[in-house]
Structure 1
């Protein structure tokens, strides 16, 4: 709109000059220069593409003109100083300046404030630009209205207004109470949307057209399951100048970081970047008991650990708009983590009478360097004849590597001193992934739409693992615990969907074909395992609008879970020699049929979403623990089938302008049927979880939120996992009209969150406990350009 007003002015000025004949300006040298900056009266923010007209003070004829740049600045020349200035912009009152003082032929008018037109504001209100949610076949669409886009808030605050979506003080995003959400920008992955980088803060609310929420992805998306998809659609015509923030964080345990985010938008370019550096400490306490019920002997250990990290994050990218319909995006990110971990464990071996047979101390020192990078190249072509017709090609590369060394020192306090020994382990790990994707969308008519596309995903992983023992003053390689494992997987996919959408009812169906070629090699023993399989993944979704406030949605999709490298690699982890986790190269993928029925009720003050779901899964992957002497070994196996039926409820209620309540609850019941090596693994169990958040807007621009979390105990095939409850607090204070934000967050206020489990199967009893404790973080963020301060959470980029 701003650009349009400038163009219209220039066209009008050209006609004016043409109608008047040759201008004296063209015949004589220019004598004076007029400069200034136009800003909005309320926010004091620059107005770009505002019109500046130079009129004759005597005749009021137009004699010169220009438009402001992205920073609101202008400079215009005139023949003489007997002029007046008019500054205008669509939706604002025209500002006339009659007193202009020149100094050596230059007049600097400084800041010129313009205010919204009352008539135009009335027109905006009539159009009811209020944010609202609607069903669109396989997704819910949250349209961002004037109530949010005019606030200068960041994308994170927009997401916090979307039903079923919650955003914590630190920027963590959950969908229906679950993490692991895939974030997209304009339908594609982006380093901006990477949750570990928190660059979403560089997008302001008035850049966003709508937010799409997908809880049961269809054939267009990867068949690999996620907690859901959130797709942020940006406005095509928004050129928002400079946005950015600088953030400092400190906390207990040691948590110190600085982050800088910048986004610069012009006519052709959008440049975004982020840099972060910090250090963080993760303390922990643990206890394990492993008991052989046939002999009564137990291995008991307890201890503490402290993991320290220094990390660096860097993001840089740009969008280039060839025209209004064609854009190319190139972006990349790099991160490096320098890790060190110290742990001390006290072990004891006891007999059936709980008498100590031996005891010793095991100290660990681990160091690692973890470089990571990601790049993205994307070409998107829209078509003039229809706003929804588009062609999108993207190429994404990701890499993660780890160079890790661990030293273990054992010192016996009871038992033979000859058993004192040291061990070293080394890990050289690399993981590289490439994704190439082509999507085409073609509207056949206003109600019928078709989509088609293809994708190729290539994964190459290598892990070189070695163990050395210090014997007779020398380090000797332990060949039976040393291996090189290579994992190569290619997935080729193609899909097609077709949809019909009427005023109240719509349906969308699709089919996805995926061909998987997996090869693993254990080089030391030359063991090869190849899996080649082709699968069809159908999906169908439908929605019906009962009333403007009530909608129904139903969907079905087939999903797959492919075993990861760590599930397949038969490596031997000796961090605890008596509790071993290993992989299984013969592991097969899980397949699930996923059904879902949802209803949503949207009112002025809130929304209620309730859904019933059912999943039928085959080749269920379950870790089975076996005992050999005093050593327990856990290995993943495909065991039988599972039926899971659940109910999920999400509610958001705005009590008033100062209080907002959010709640999520999930209950599911599952039944397992399976036999492995003549053992019956049938069992039934249930679990439930709940999360409630209350947000308060206090006086003096203070926001306060409290979140309670509960997860019930759950029974797996062999193990009972305990329930736990924890409470999080957050406080945020805004200064300088939102330009500066000070936040304080407390995670796990009462240090009540922990992992505790008991395994009781055959001759094996095993108990595990681990706890990290309370985390307190204080952050200060300053935002420059347009919008509020934008948070950088100070968290490391996770692989």
Structure 2
């Protein structure tokens, strides 16, 4: 079919030059995918003579799915076609002032061809736009019972480590947005995407070089998670049940009611999961030749509930109001047990002891949002959007630590801690978009963000049979940040090429305070963030994108807060309230091309970062303390490629590869941290259609080791597996998922210094989930899990 389209286009081009220019008719429209409403680029639009198959003229859609075609023949019909979709023939249209406006043309997938083994919509796929990539989430088996973190880990260019830290092309400092805005659901203090689940996600936008329209935070780029909001008329819904080992049990319900004026939507979830984590640490004192070993297991047992409610009210065809809210509540129980062993300079075991932790916490979190969107009559893309968002996260946590001597020196020392954490955030935005013509578009807007946080932390030591407050480890940390940003962008886009440039201005006002000791830190600075993007369509199968942007990474709350968890009081991490922000200049050249049944995207990029935030370890009295510091600069040049290949109807292969070389320069306390290194990662996935409507999916990933400023991080590889069976004509789906099949996904690092060495190791282990989902009304079966991985 692909060769037929190419042959058709060649004929169209030849024929179009022979058409007599009497009185031309202008035919315009936008081609979108019926299931997702996403634009379909590079599709074929052909005009044929009525009662004949003779071609008059034709064209292809641009990156936005738009097309424009002229003809001097009035007696014709229109045919729209694209590989994998049903061809649509349009015969009913009106010519007004020599113009035909077809509006949005919806193409549905060609189920007759694809339903034999695999349906196209089941597989996640990427759509390229001028300044971003949109990863549309299919019903991939690997997403069964998955949290948003696991879904992100399957997105090209994105990696999520065992700790839940998200990186983009190997760099941290990623800004996470929900529906284009900050959210308590994606805030690190709320344990990163705790209640967002695979079935709730429509698509994920990967923005490695954001335009000036976006907030400048995030030196690595932006990940924008778009949540589903069902648009089908009438009642639609889905219910899902999941179970697994370690304990992972949940129920989820999704409901939607669509009328002419209202779209009401809700998602409800509840469940319980247990997340074990094995760890090991070694502290070597090279001066006194002493060693402390520790190993143990910790659990995060969670009971969780969440509900999302919202409505769209269509005042008329041009004005829409949206009100939505989300509430989640978590009950945590975190038991842990760690064994310590102390060896002297003669490598003789002198003492050993057991440290037990019992931690309980409740975490309420909620957010509410108001949006008003006005579209103008002259163009549906001419719009004004006003939004206001409020969000809150709280944590009421208490911990009991007990030390019990096993042998040797008495190590009994019990402790208690209490944490009262509260965070309130408010975001106000206005965005205006005006397509001045078919080629010119301007955007302008402003955003004001308020972050107000308090973290009251108290440590008590057991002395003489009673607990006494440890003033050295107790304090209340207050964090208040306000960011005001304004932006303007302009775009000029033709069928073959386009360019978009913009400038953003942001003022940051940050104040932190340790109330008990009256230690404060105040920063106020204003910065400019330019961006420029360009694209060029060399042919129907090859396109190029070029981008530049300047970004900022503002230290997060936990980077600044100088107090820490004392679970392992020989390996502690604390924050640094004096940290400065990082600034990054990012350059990127991307090519998009298709070869037969394969499609690829490759990028070459360069990033230069100043005031790089690195975690530095110090050693005293056999205790390793890790603290973030601003250390020098980092230049990184990299290459990335990802692609998809479907050699047959029953097999789809996907893969990506990322390599970067970095050069670090900087000093800290007279110590030089100049060095170079490299890191790379790869991922390969295969989806295989089997008889009896059964699908098998395998996804393997490898992350290389790399140098750090004081040591190295070890590489690892792991494999995920999924099996799915459709029943009741696809209304119900049974899924079996196995993540980290060989229990090989680890976190392992070493620090090598002249006076000490440290080693740390963490592992989550294998997760097995079994899910059953059923769609009713006009809905389809979906998978759901209300939990998270942390």
Equivalence for 1:501: 493
Match of 2:155 among 166, 172, 175: 175
Alignment of 1:276 onto 2:256: no
Alignment match, 2:355: 362
What is the aligned length? 660
2:384 aligns with 391
- Within 2, Cα distance between the matches of 1:578 and 1:239? 57
Moved more, 343-352 or 173-182: 173-182
Query: Residue in 2 aligned with 1:428?
Result: 420
Deviation per CA, 1:445-490: give whole Å up to 9, x if none: 2101110000011101111111111111111111111000000000
Residue of structure 1 in register with 2:305 after alignment = 312
Which one of 333, 336, 346 corresponds to residue 326 of structure 2? 333
Tell me if the contact between 1:187 and 1:233 (Cα under 8 Å) persists in the aligned partners: no
What is the CA distance between 1:551 and its match in structure 2? 0.2
Q: Contact 1:255/1:281 (CA < 8 Å) preserved in 2?
A: yes
- CA drift of 1:146 comes to 1.5
Rounded to whole Å, the distance in 2 between the matches of 1:471 and 1:688 is 51
Tell me how far 1:175 sits from its aligned partner.
3.3
Q: Is 309-318 or 597-606 further displaced after alignment?
A: 597-606
TM-aligned CA distance change 1:148 to 1:624, over 3 Å? farther
Is residue 128 of structure 2 the alignment partner of residue 128 of structure 1? no
Q: Which residue of 1 aligns with 2:634?
A: 642
Matches within 5 A, 1:115-194: 126-128=79-81, 145-147=107-109, 157=122, 159-160=124-125, 162=127, 165=135, 168-170=142-144, 172-173=151-152, 174-179=154-159
The equivalent residue for 1:373 is 366
- Counterpart contact for 2:184–2:392, Cα < 8 Å: no
Shift of 1:548: 1.1
- Say which one has the larger Rg: 1
Q: CA deviation at 1:299?
A: 1.2
- What SS does the aligned partner of 1:126 have? strand
Separation in 1 of the partners of 2:483 and 2:216? 11
Q: Tell me if the contact between 2:109 and 2:120 (Cα under 8 Å) persists in the aligned partners.
A: no
In 2, the alpha carbon distance for the partners of 1:239 and 1:276 equals 22
1:745 paired residue among 725, 734, 737? 737
User: Which range moved further: 312-321 or 396-405?
Assistant: 396-405
Q: Structure 2 CA distance, aligned partners of 1:583 and 1:717?
A: 18
C-alpha change, 1:716 and 1:728, in structure 2 (3 Å) is same
The partner residue of 2:554 within 558, 562, 575 is: 562
Deviations 1:345-365 (A, max 9, x none): 111111122111221111111
Give the C-alpha shift of residue 434 in structure 1. Answer: 1.0
- 1:777-796 deviation per Cα after TM superposition (whole angstroms, max 9, x unaligned): 00000001224201213424
| Aligned position for 2:604 | 612
Are the aligned partners of 2:535 and 2:544 in contact in 1 as well (CA < 8 Å)?
yes
**Residue correspondence of structure 1 range 463-474 to structure 2 within 5 A:** 463-474=455-466
Does the 8 A contact of 1:199 with 1:261 survive in 2?
A: no
Q: 1:191 to 1:349 in 2, by over 3 A?
A: closer
* Per-residue deviation, 1:605: 2.2
Q: What residue number does 2:7 align with?
A: none
- Preserved contact between residue 175 and residue 228 of structure 1 (Cα < 8 Å): no
TM-score scaled by length of structure 1: 0.78
Query: Which residue is equivalent to 1:40?
Result: none
How far apart in 2 are the matches of 1:191 and 1:265? 27
Is 1:154–1:201's contact at 8 Å kept on the other side of the alignment? no
Aligned-pair distance for 1:160?
3.5
Please state whether the residue corresponding to 2:210 is helix, strand or coil: coil
Aligned to 1:537: 529
User: Which of 470, 480, 486 is matched with 1:478 structurally?
Assistant: 470
Partner Cα distance (1:563, 1:622) in 2: 11
Contact 2:251 2:785 in 1 (8 A): no
Matched residues in 2 for 1:305 and 1:626: separation? 25
Q: Which among 718, 732, 738 is matched to residue 726 of structure 1?
A: 718
Distance 1:623 1:143 in 2: 53
Matched residue SS, 2:81: coil
Query: 1:200: Cα distance to partner?
Result: 7.3
Distance 1:161 1:681, change over 3 A: closer
Do 1:192 and 1:200's aligned partners in 2 also have CA atoms closer than 8 Å? no
CA change 1:739–1:771 in 2 (3 A) is same
| CA deviations over 1:673-727 (Å, ceiling 9, x no partner) | 0012211110111000001100112222212100001000111101211111110
Could you tell me whether the CA contact under 8 Å between 1:285 and 1:303 is conserved in 2? Answer: yes
Superposed CA deviations along residues 410-447 of structure 1, whole A, max 9, x for unmatched, are 11122344x42211011111111111110001112210
| TM-score of the pair, normalised by structure 2 | 0.79
Q: What is the CA-CA distance between 1:215 and the residue it aligns to?
A: 3.5
Q: RMSD between aligned alpha carbons?
A: 2.9
- The structure whose RCO (Cα within 8 Å, separation 6+) is larger is 2
Provide the C-alpha distance between the structure 1 equivalents of 2:776 and 2:185, rounded to a whole number of angstroms: 18
Given the alignment of the two structures, is residue 246 of structure 1 paired with residue 239 of structure 2, yes or no?
yes
Q: Distance in 1 between matches of 2:462 and 2:719?
A: 47
Q: Deviations over 1:36-68 (max 9, x none)?
A: xxxxxxxxxxxxxxxxxxxxxxxxxxxxxxxxx
Give yes or no for the alignment of 1:409 onto 2:402: yes
Post-superposition offset of 1:196: 5.3
Residue in structure 2 matched with residue 513 of structure 1 by the alignment = 505
State the secondary structure of the residue aligned to 1:421.
coil
**DSSP-derived class of the 2:213 partner:** coil
1:737-758 CA-to-partner distances (Å, cap 9, x unmatched) read: 2110110100000111111111
Task: Give the unaligned 5+ runs of structure 1.
Answer: 1-122, 133-141, 205-209
1:677 has 2:639 as partner: no
Secondary structure, in 3 states, of the residue corresponding to 2:559? helix
